[in-house]
């Protein structure tokens, strides 16, 4: 991914759970992006289900993929 200063931070809602800790997240009530969980969330086994609000980091180079960093 890009440097930390280049990343876009967005908030969204999980709409679908996919295999391998991957999720479809609805961002800004318009766009659905595919997201994976960050390492710390995997390490501490943070569970997420459909309807959870999450914070997502997205690279400006590929806006269709992101990384979930925080569950709100």
Task: Read off the pLDDT of residues 20-53 as tens digits, 9 standing for 90 and up.
Answer: 999 999 999 999 999 999 999 999 999 999 999 9
Q: What is the pTM of this model?
A: 0.90
Torsion of CA 42, 44, 47, 53, to 10 degrees: -90
Read off the tokens for 48: 């997420």
How confident is the model at residue 1, as a pLDDT? 60
CATH number of 8-71: 2.40.50.140
How confident is the model at residue 53, as a pLDDT? 98
Q: Report the percentage of the chain scoring pLDDT > 90.
A: 92
């Amino acid at each position: 991914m890009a440097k930390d200063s280049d990343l876009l931070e967005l908030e969204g809602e999980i709409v679908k759970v996919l295999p391998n800790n991957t999720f479809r997240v609805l961002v800004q009530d318009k766009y659905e992006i595919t997201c994976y969980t960050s390492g710390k969330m995997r390490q501490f086994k943070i569970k997420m289900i459909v309807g959870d609000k999450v914070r997502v980091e997205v690279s400006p180079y590929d806006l269709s993929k992101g990384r979930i960093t925080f569950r709100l």
